[in-house]
Every structure is written in C-alpha cells, then in structure tokens.
Amino acid sequence: MNNAVPIPAQISDISVDWLNTRLGDDFGTITEVSVAEIGAGVGILGEVGRVTLTYAEGETGPATLIAKCQSVYPDNIVLCQMMGFYVREVSFYNELASSLDIRTPKCHVADMAEGGAPFILLVEEITDARMIDQIEGASREDAMSVAETVAGLHARFWNNDALFALEWLPPMNNDLYKGAQGLFDANWEGFVENWSALVDPDVLACCEALIPKYADMLDWVVESSPATLAHTDCRAENYLFGGSAGPDAITMLDFQLATRHVGTYDIANFLGMSVTIENRRAWENDVVRHYHDTLVARGVPDYDYDQCHRDYRYALMHQAMAQVAVANLDPGNDRGRELLNAFVTRAFTAAADNQSIDLLSEL
C-alpha cells in the first residue's frame, strides 16, 4: 500500500500526476491521459477501463494500460470489502503473479487503501487477443488448453505449505460463503417459478435438498479432497488467446474470486458454463483426463483419476447449486438473458449427465 498518494476511487480519477508518481522506469513522462470504460453497464464488482497515454517528446512507454477500480455502487463496494474480493486480486498481483508459470497481464500498480477500498490495478493491455464467445462456447482445443493452464496453477499450490501461507486466500468453506444458505432460501421460490420447466427435475430436487445442508457440503468437500489455489472464475471471458502476449500464449484474467478449493471446481466451471451441452457431452472426459494427466506430470502425488473424476462431479453439482443464488437477477438486455439461460441450463444438464446427485448420499 502507498498511503502517500491517494488511490483513485474510480477510473475517471486517474490523473497525469498520479500516473507519473506511481509508474516506474518503464514509462517516460506522461503529459496526457484519457480513460474509456470497457464493458459499460456490466461491471458488478468494479470498473474496468482502457487508459491511453501520451508521453513527452522523445520519451516512450506503453500506449495503453488496463485499469480496474472499485465499483461505482456503494453497496457493491461494501460487499467486496466484506468478501475480500479487492484484497484477493491486489494480493495476487503483489505476491504471486510474477513468480507463476501461468501467463497473467504484467502488473504495473496494485494498491488498495486500508480495508480494501478504494483499490486500483494497472496492468498491460493484451492487444489483438482472441476471446471465446461464451454463448457460442469453447472449442475442444481451447478447453484442453485452459485445462492444462489451470492444472499448472493448481499443481504449484497443491495442498502444500505455499498454499496455506496465503493468508488473504479464503477457503471455500469460510463463514461468509456458508452464509449463502440464506440467499438460496430467499431465491428458491422464484427460481422454481422461472426455471423448473427448463432444468433437470432430479437436479432441481437435489438443490432443494442441499439448501439446509449447504454449509455441511462445503465442509465435506474441503475435508475429503485436496485443496489448491482455485481461480474460481474459470469462464470463457477470463482467458485471452494469443495477441501481444505471443501466438501460443493463454493469459488468465481476474482473480477477485480466487479461493482455496478443489481444483476440479475450475474445470467444472469452464466445461459446465463455457461449452455447449453437445460439445461437453462429446469430449468432457477427454478434458478432465487431460487435466489429471497434467497434474500428475507436474508432480501432484496421491491423486488418482477416480478421485479427480469424483471431485469433478461434485463441482458440477456445486455449479448447478450456485445458479440458484444468481439466476433471479435482472439480466438487463437480450444478450444478458441469453447468457443467463446458457449458464443455468448448461450447469443443470452437466450435473444431470454426470449423475452428480448421487454424491448427496456421501454428505
């Protein structure tokens, strides 16, 4: 943290003076700055903007950066402080990002005030990169690449001292997450009314049965499976392919939701939400197997494929359950509605296809 220089509360507060004070030797003297919001209207946890820089004559530096700041909505800021979302991402970039094998945007500034807000990230912009359209869904090749990428992250922190030393990284069974049981209770009636005709009835019944057992479910998986640093937001839009990072590079974005959890949660998140139902059915086992093979090749011990596949099935059930917490939100526009429909129907179908409800008896 740098208390000598006020942290911009919003991306519009990023000034020439602030940039010249905080940026390092890779940057010449900045004379002008313009900031344009990216994805206007879709930011829930915070603002994201492109920062365009003009330098003094004869001096150079990156033409653009990507900035992330706190939400414009006070209630959302309070939620993010309470859940530690901003703390996680700032800590990730300050403590881990530069030492990992995975590709993340180069970070130039990661700072936050006491209590986690306001915060700011200034990272490189990966230009000309390809992003998967989540509605169209990922290809088999992209899914295999993402599985290999996250396996590399997971192997580094596989149930070891390095993982448990990350004091800012909460376990999935933390008290605040367990408190989501109340949200499930509040949303259940509306979820059934809106979605019961579109989702598997057995998975829906399982979700209802899990509501009073949700906290126990989180404890059960934490106690019965090895933990790692899970991205916990492993969806299409958080992975960039190629571009200025290199033709074969995969750049992983957004670590505000990172947790200490089972690694298969990330695989289930991607296959269950960012792949069409038809394609997932065709090659999901290949992707899960490739994920496990990569873990083993990276030195993960005592984790056989049967356990990996069981953890994957659990994670799919958790994904379906999670939809109850968010699927009653107003999606805002036609694309939002299309995305929401894909999330809910894909998650429930994946849990049904993999007989995830059978795991309920183990709780």
- One domain, residues 105 and 136: no
Calculate the average pLDDT of the chain. Answer: 92
- One domain, residues 278 and 343: yes
Tokens of 84: 């530690």
By the 8 A CB rule, do 55 and 28 touch?
yes
Domain of 46, in residue numbers: 11-124
59-84 burial: b if 16+ Cβ within 10 Å, else e: eebbeebbbbbbbeeeebbeebbebb
- One domain, residues 183 and 59: no
pLDDT at 41: 45
By the 8 A CB rule, do 58 and 75 touch?
no
Residue 135's CATH number: 3.90.1200
Tokens of 205: 């019944």
Asked if the structure places residue 5 within a domain, the reply is no
DSSP E strand boundaries for 172-267: 228-230, 239-241, 250-252, 259-261
Contacts of 68 (CB under 8 A, 6+ apart): 46, 47, 48, 89, 119, 120, 121, 123
Asked if the structure places residue 253 within a domain, the reply is yes
Helix (H) or strand (E) holding 200: none
Of 72-81, 94-103, 148-157, 165-174, which gets the smallest average pLDDT?
Answer: 72-81
Residue 30's CATH number: 3.30.200
- One domain, residues 114 and 242: no
Tokens of 74: 């006070």
Number of domains in the chain: 2
**How many angstroms separate the CA atoms of 184 and 317, rounded?**
14
- One domain, residues 112 and 70: yes
Of 75-79, 87-91, 311-315, 351-355, which gets the smallest average pLDDT?
Answer: 75-79
Contacts of 257 (CB under 8 A, 6+ apart): 85, 88, 231, 232, 233
Helix (H) or strand (E) holding 296: helix 277-297
> pLDDT (tens digit, 9 = 90+) per residue, 19-62?
999 998 889 999 999 999 886 544 567 889 999 999 999 999 99
The most confident of the ranges 44-48, 99-103, 134-138, 285-289 is 285-289
